[in-house]
Amino acid sequence: MIRIAGVNIPENKRIEIALTYIYGIGRSLSKQFLKQTGINPDSRVSQLNIEQINSLRKLIEAQKIEGELRREKIMNIKRLKDIGCWRGSRHIKGLPVRGQRTSTNNRTVRGNTRKTMFSGKKKMEKT
């Protein structure tokens, strides 16, 4: 099992996909890393030799990933809350931040389960 930046990389997956298990690395960034190191994106993680793994590790650890990236993201949100801007107040209230409508959608952000608009009793049929 290969370990890069504190994350176990699965050995049976293609290296292009396996790198996305690291927080902060997506498909485009993993393709860029593989192009810089000269590794075939279709090769499996288990097929890589030690030199290729070390070159990848060196490139990846130069980036801002995992805990450092999470910390920066949290600090940015905290800064918005501290200065009291509109986006910060939306974060505090737990509402959508980027201008989405709230009268209907956004149930996942608000944490509400779907509410029924009727009493719940079945109507009596006229016979």
Span 56-103, pLDDT tens digits: 999 998 989 888 999 999 999 999 999 999 999 999 988 888 888 887
Residue with tokens 């000269």, as numbered in its chain: 38
Average pLDDT on 19-41 reads: 93
User: pTM of the entire structure?
Assistant: 0.71
Predicted confidence (pLDDT) at residue 119 exceeds the cutoff of 80: no
Options 2.40.370.10, 1.10.10.10, 4.10.910.10, 3.40.50.2000; CATH of 69-110:
4.10.910.10
CA 5, CA 22: separation in Å to the nearest integer? Answer: 8
pLDDT of residue 40: 93
With cut-offs at 50, 70 and 90, classify the pLDDT of residue 124.
low
Question: Do residues 41 and 31 lie in contact, with contact meaning Cβ atoms separated by under 8 Å?
Answer: yes
Average pLDDT on 107-126 reads: 65
Closest to 53 (Cα-Cα) out of 119, 102, 4: 4
Question: Do residues 41 and 47 lie in contact, with contact meaning Cβ atoms separated by under 8 Å?
Answer: no
Predicted confidence (pLDDT) at residue 7 exceeds the cutoff of 80: yes
Whole-number average pLDDT of the chain: 87
Question: Do residues 42 and 73 lie in contact, with contact meaning Cβ atoms separated by under 8 Å?
Answer: no
C-alpha 111: how far from chain center: 19
Predicted confidence (pLDDT) at residue 54 exceeds the cutoff of 80: yes
Residue with tokens 């097929």, as numbered in its chain: 47
Options 3.90.25.10, 3.20.20.70, 3.40.250.10, 1.10.8.50; CATH of 2-63:
1.10.8.50
Task: Please report, for the chain, the start and end positions of each structural domain, with discontinuous segments joined by +.
Answer: 2-63, 69-110
